[in-house]
Amino acid sequence: MLETIRKAAGTWVARALLAILALSFVYWGADTRTTNTGTTVIATVGGKSITQSDLERAFENEINAISQRAGRRITQTEARSLGLDKRALTRLIGTTAIDKQAGDLGLAVSEQTAAESITRDPAFHGIDGKFDRPGFNNLLRSIGMSERDFIDLRRREEIRDQITQSVLQSIVTPKPLVKAVHEWREETRVVEHFTLEGEKAVTVAEPDATKLKETYEANKAQFMAPEYRQMQVLLLSVEALKGQMDVPDAEIARSYEETKETYATPELRRVQQISFKDKAAADKARAEIAGGKNFMTVAEEMKLKDTDVELGLINKKALIDPKIADAAFSIGKDKVSDVVEGRFATVIVRVPEIVAGKQPSLEDVKDRVKEKLQREKARGEIKKLRDEVDDLRTAGKSDKEIAEATKLKLIDVAEADASNKTKDGRTALEHPDAAKLIASGFDARTGIERDPVDLTDGGYGWVTTTGTTPARQKPFEEVEGDTKALYVSTERSRLLRELAQKTADRISAGEAIEKVAAEFNAKLEKTEPITRSTSPQGLTEQAVRQAFALALGKAGHSETSDRKGRTVVRVLEIKPAAEPAKEQALKLAAEIGQQIQLDTLDAFVNAVQDAAGVSINEALLKRALGGADQ
């Protein structure tokens, strides 16, 4: 079971979370102390307990972290589909194992040291750069922790950090690896290609009755009439509820004053930037510009393209380097900055266009402010109404009775398959969360209540399945036309693959690609030099991969994006990667180094928890993670 959890944590979501959070093991509110206040123990690590409530709290923290970065509230259903519940348990097991390792090593941090660390942390500073006590108190209230518990949490984080940093400090990014990755990424190829169109290039003979029957028997699963379900959907939606929320004008005005900067349109500037290999080269170019040379002429002499120079019309926050941002937003229109030594490059910038920012008045944004406040109030009413609905359902009330009592919307779905389609192909349920609601209806047995579905807007939907029309096998006579279409499509694809392979073999053997393309009246095209990450017009990702797998002068083929043809490709030119610029090599080394750190940290945590010993209550874990559907 533990190995399954580890594999689940290897998804892109887990990697993203690890990159953001793992190096410091920050876990606000995830308390893995051994005290058990009666909740069932879901796992033990070296004698330390992880309870179901620990997991629920950790799962909520994962949702909060992702929601903040996504700019909207992620529902529990979405979070489970992304594996965040398994990720939460993986992190709990890892941090608990690290805590045990710290205890075995006798590591400790005093409460005073932890408290001082909190006051120094910029995350808890106000706009004056000093520790913000009211803001800190608000944080404690929002996460339901006392100050002492938070300091204790910080103390344990400091100890974990001592251990993990001791592991990571010894890591060195191998230069040969950086060189190999650069060469692999930056190698360029020129590719010739043409397309064989399936319907023109090959002819499929008319199938007889025997072939059609064979096709039908071999693909019976494709000729099933799906199961249909009838269901009722009771909706508690923030979007619907917000219209019932009263917001006085005085409250709208107060909210506007408190958050007016969020409605402002920032100043935009069109920024041009030239990067130099060192400050001496930048100083020389700046002096030439001061002497009358055109900014773009300097760029052209350095063989830079417009795309290398133009950063676009952007706001200040779009420039990651603060020094460059300050320079670009402090000079006048058509002016050129002094030399700026940034984090990753030495540059000079020019601003040919400035679009002034705007602070709208209350009247300009009154409707937006009101809607925001209505939405906030609606979210505050959601839990109260959910509890009311749950109580009524527990009391045996029907969905219709509940809808009448609570003024909630009730939708009758007459028929829907698992893809939310009716028998005539129309959409069965029109709703932003229709897929989740229909899935809930198909999870349930007729007449059995399910837990509510988390809606994207923060509301809930209760789905009751009221009837089922079972799936059935369509007889051959009913789908004879579809069977013939499947046979023709399959046979055409087979013949086209064979033709494309023979065509590629001819070209690889030395026949002129121009002559071969002309035989098929196909247009021969040639790309500019491309890398493995390039997506040139007319070539799919698969075709690009094929081109980089071929030797010089050799040909291959791949399916077109519409799956109706095959693209034949030939490698015309291979150019090895040039030596990387200093800043490019440093950036790549940092990227590879971070990945090595993540992999090393992952291996270290696994080793520590294996040494500590992990035991999991699998039955309880299955229930905690959502039952058999997980």
What average pLDDT does range 105-116 have in this prediction?
86
Model-level pTM? 0.56
Whether the Cβ atoms of residue 553 and residue 571 lie closer than 8 Å to each other: yes
pLDDT grade for 78, boundaries at 50, 70 and 90: confident
Alpha-carbon distance of 586 to 582, in angstroms, equals: 6
| Res 409: pLDDT | 92
Q: What is the pLDDT of residues 521-550, one digit of tens each?
A: 999 999 999 999 998 999 999 999 999 999
Question: pLDDT class for 376, splitting at 50, 70, 90?
Answer: confident
From CA 522, how far away is CA 568, in angstroms rounded? 10
Report residue 142's pLDDT band, with 50, 70 and 90 as the boundaries: low
pLDDT at position 31, please?
A: 38
| pLDDT band at residue 448 using 50, 70 and 90 as cut-offs | low
Q: Name the nearest CA neighbour of 154 among 45, 64, 57, 29.
A: 29
**Does 319 have pLDDT greater than 70?**
yes
* Residue 201 confidence class, pLDDT cut points 50, 70, 90: very high
Beta partners for residue 409, in sequence order: 235
Res 437 pLDDT > 50: yes
The size of the chain, in residues, is: 630
From 173-187, 362-376, 434-448, 457-471, the region with the lowest mean pLDDT:
434-448
Distances in Å between the alpha carbon of 422 and those of 194, 234, 419, 463? 42, 20, 9, 17
pLDDT of residue 344: 74
Percent of the residues in the chain that have a pLDDT greater than 70, as a whole number = 91
On whether the CB atoms of residues 575 and 586 are closer than 8 A, the answer is no
Q: How far is CA 441 from CA 229, 414, 457, 467, 491, in A?
A: 8, 12, 20, 10, 39
Please give the distance of CA 455 from its chain centroid, rounded to a whole number: 19
Dist CA 308 CA 540 (whole Å): 25
Average pLDDT, the chain: 86
Distance of CA 301 to the CA centre of its chain: 40
Which residues share a beta bridge with 193?
Answer: 525, 569
pLDDT of residue 445: 65
Q: Do residues 471 and 419 lie in contact, with contact meaning Cβ atoms separated by under 8 Å? A: no
pLDDT, tens digit, for every residue of 81-97?
888 888 888 888 988 88
Strands 460-469, 453-454: pairing kind: antiparallel
Q: Taking 80 as the threshold, does the pLDDT of residue 15 lie above it?
A: no
Place of tokens 């359902």: 393
DSSP 596: H
DSSP string, 217-274: HHTGGGGEEPPEEEEEEEEE-HHHHGGG----HHHHHHHHHHHGGGGPBPPEEEEEEE
**Residues 327-354: what's their mean pLDDT?**
92
Distance CA 630, CA 621 (A): 10
Confidence of residue 147 (pLDDT cuts 50, 70, 90): confident
Confidence at 113, pLDDT banded by 50, 70, 90: confident
pLDDT over 70 (residue 170) = yes
CA distances for 318 relative to 257, 328, 550, 630, angstroms: 26, 11, 40, 40
Give the range with max mean pLDDT: 40-44, 289-293, 450-454.
Answer: 289-293
Closest CA to 417 of 432, 440, 438, 401: 438
DSSP 72: S
Block residue for tokens 């992880």: 50
| Contact in structure between 58 and 45 (CB atoms under 8 Å) | no
Tell whether the model's pLDDT for residue 124 goes beyond 80: yes
Look up residue 162 and give its amino acid.
Answer: Q
